[in-house]
Amino acid sequence: MKRDELAAHLSGTPDHGALRAWAREILERAAGPGVAAVHHPLGFVCLPVERDGGAGVCLHVWTSELPAAAPTTSAIHCHSWELDSYVLFGAVGNRLPELAPDGRPTHRLFAVTSGPDGDELRPTERTVRHAAGTAERFGAGAVYRLRAGVFHESVVAADGAATIALGAERPGLPNLSLGPLGGAAHRVARRPCEGAALRTVARAALAGLSG
């Protein structure tokens, strides 16, 4: 399936069988030539499937086979794109903090610029006060959406999860991460996930689909 067909499934009644079969096909060939999977700094493996200008499709896989996420700022961030996701297995939670521009600040916003080899994070002049906010949770077969600019932190159980993720860029909006007040500009490399590591991730995801 191409992106338009996947988007139709995610905006209407999902054909669970077709979506899972599509994901299985991607995973079964994941360790083949030309698959440019990467370890994301937030702790999952991203398998890019389709990219057309500002729109794209990826498979995201969280598994205990991977090291824990170690973000250099925090796991709380917002995208410059609209995100529609379908949960293939497991459960994905989103914590939605309250961020107020007034009062005593607790964090600084960092602008994130992504490139082929990694991310540049630069502190901005904007500071916020962080409060816990709300949380949401989505199980297998659910579709969830995150609008561009919504700050969130994804939470996945130790037994893992996988999603089909469709993104659509909103020009002019920044990618931001919540960081320490005194944090400095820095770069985070994107490590490729390939060979034995990618095969391990693919096997874990295929086992999750079978379960």
pLDDT, one tens digit per residue, over 21-49 is 999 999 998 877 667 899 988 889 999 99
Question: What band does 122 get if pLDDT is binned at 50, 70 and 90?
Answer: very high
Q: At what angle do helices 195-210 and 16-28 cross, to 10 degrees?
A: 160
| Start-end of H helices in the chain | 3-11, 16-28, 195-210
- The domain ranges of the chain are 3-210
**Sheet of 161-169, strands arranged across:** 143-146, 81-89, 161-169, 55-62, 45-52, 38-39, 191-192
The confidence score (pLDDT) of residue 53 equals 83
Q: Which residue has the higher pLDDT, 67 or 96?
A: 96
Contacts of 196 (CB under 8 A, 6+ apart): none
Unique residue bearing structure tokens 């659910």: 142
8-state DSSP, 152: B
Q: How many Cα atoms are found within 13 Å in the side-chain-facing hemisphere of 1?
A: 21
Residue 174, pLDDT above cutoff 80: yes
Q: How far apart are CA 121 and CA 176, in angstroms?
A: 9
State the pLDDT at residue 133: 93
Q: Identify the CA nearest to 152 among candidates 74, 96, 75.
A: 96
pLDDT at residue 115, as a whole number = 81
Mean pLDDT, residues 57-75 taken together: 88
pLDDT of amino acid 157: 84
The predicted-structure confidence for 86-108, as pLDDT tens digits, reads as follows 999 999 999 999 999 888 999 99
pTM equals 0.93
User: Could you tell me which CATH class the domain 3-210 is placed in?
Assistant: mainly beta
